[in-house]
Copies of this chain bind each other. A is one copy, B any other.
Amino acid sequence: MPNITVELLAGRSVEQRRAFARAVTDHAVEILGARPQDVRMVFNEITPDIVANGGVLASEDPSRAAVVAALDKS
């Protein structure tokens, strides 16, 4: 431990996942005092049609359209 789960919209590249895992692991070691080999991270990728905020699916939410569109392009 720490055992870290990152729920996020699909669309990030393997380079982004790699860099984020490294950076967060470094902070877990420095700030939380974890041993590097004990830090585990799982990315749980989801799509905009299965997540809702304020009762509105992200795929139908004007306030999140820019976020969703940016990921679709990548």
Size of A's binding interface in residues, CB under 8 A: 53
Which chain A residues (1-26) contact chain B, with CB distance < 8 Å? 1-9, 12, 14, 16-26
A2, B62: Cα distance in complex, Å = 19
Whether A65 sits at the interface, judged by CB under 8 Å, is: no
In contact, A55 and B39 (Cβ under 8 angstroms): yes
List residues of A whose CB falls within 8 A of some B CB: 1-9, 12, 14, 16-28, 31-46, 49-57, 59-60, 67, 70
Q: How distant is A5 from chain B, measured CB to nearest CB, in Å?
A: 4
| A28-B20 contact in complex given A4-B4, A7-B2, A45-B50, C-beta closer than 8 Å | yes
| A41-B37 contact in complex given A5-B5, A21-B57, C-beta closer than 8 Å | no
